[in-house]
Amino acid sequence: MRLALVGRYFNRQGGVSRVLAELADRAANEHDVDVYSYEVLDRGSCRANFVHVPMVERVHWLQVPTFSRGVNRRLRERPHDLVHVIDSQATGGDLYTAQSCAAAWLSQARAAAPVKGLLSRVYPPHVAAKVFERRCLVPDRSAVVAVSNGVRADLVTQVGLDPERVHVIYNGVDADVFTPADSRAEARAELDAADRPRSPDATVLLFVGHYFQRKGLDPVIRAFSRAALPNAELWVIGSDEPAPYRRLARESGVADAVRFLGHRPNVERYMRAADAFVLPTRYEPFGLVILEALACGTPVVTARSAGAAELTRDGSEAILLDDPWDVAELAAALRRLAEARERWPQMSAAARAAAIPWTWDAIWRQTSELYSELLERRYAGGARRASARSSSPSSARTASSSAG
Note the pLDDT tens digit of each residue in 368-383: 999 999 999 888 765 5
Fold of 184-358: Rossmann fold (3.40.50)
For residue 90, give the amino acid letter: A
Mean pLDDT of 158-176: 97
> Residue 141's pLDDT is what?
87
Q: How confident is the model at residue 113 (pLDDT cuts 50, 70, 90)?
A: confident
Cα 71 from chain centroid (whole Å):
22
**CATH class, 2-171+359-386 region:** alpha beta
Domain ranges of the chain: 2-171+359-386, 184-358
The pLDDT of residue 119:
63
Count CB-CB contacts under 10 A for residue 270.
23
Distance between CA atoms of 282 and 307, rounded to whole angstroms?
11
Phi then psi for 267, rounded to 5 degrees?
Answer: -65, -25
Identify the helix (H) or strand (E) that includes residue 8. Answer: none
pLDDT digit string (tens) for 276-326?
999 999 899 999 999 999 999 999 999 999 999 999 999 999 999 999 999
261 backbone dihedrals φ, ψ, rounded to 5°: -95, -5
Q: What is the mean pLDDT of residues 185-200?
A: 95
Is residue 71 predicted with pLDDT exceeding 90? yes
Integer Cα distance of 383 and 191 in angstroms? 60
Q: Which of the four pLDDT bands, split at 50, 70 and 90, describes residue 396?
A: very low
Backbone torsions φ then ψ of 206, nearest 5 degrees: -120, 130
The one-letter amino acid code at 11 reads N
pLDDT over 80 at 388, yes or no: no
**Average pLDDT of the chain?**
92
Q: How confident is the model at residue 126 (pLDDT cuts 50, 70, 90)?
A: confident
Quick one: which of 97, 94, 75 has its CA closest to 83? 94
The residue with greater pLDDT, 327 or 396, is 327
With cut-offs at 50, 70 and 90, classify the pLDDT of residue 61: confident
pLDDT for residue 399:
39
Amino acid at residue number 4:
A
pLDDT at 403: 39
Distance in angstroms (rounded) separating the CA atoms of residues 310 and 136: 26
Q: Which residues contact 205 (CB under 8 A, 6 or more apart)?
A: 220, 224, 232, 233, 234, 235, 274, 275, 276, 277, 278, 334
Is residue 168 within a helix (H) or strand (E), and if so which, with residue range?
strand 166-168
Cβ neighbours around 344 below 10 Å, total: 18
Q: What is the rounded CA–CA span in Å between residue 205 and residue 237?
A: 11
The DSSP result for 11-40, as a single string, is -SSSSHHHHHHHHHHHHTTTSEEEEEESEE
Q: How open is the CA angle 295-174-297, to the nearest 5 degrees? A: 10
What's the CA gap between 12 and 21, in Å, rounded? 7
Identical fold for domains 2-171+359-386 and 184-358, yes or no, is yes
365 pLDDT exceeds 90? yes
pLDDT exceeds cutoff 70 at 386: no
CA distance 23 to 361: 9
Band (pLDDT 50/70/90 cuts) for residue 110 is confident
Average pLDDT on 189-201 reads: 94
Is the pLDDT confidence value at 60 over 90? no
pLDDT at position 240 is 95
What mean pLDDT is predicted for residues 159-179?
A: 97
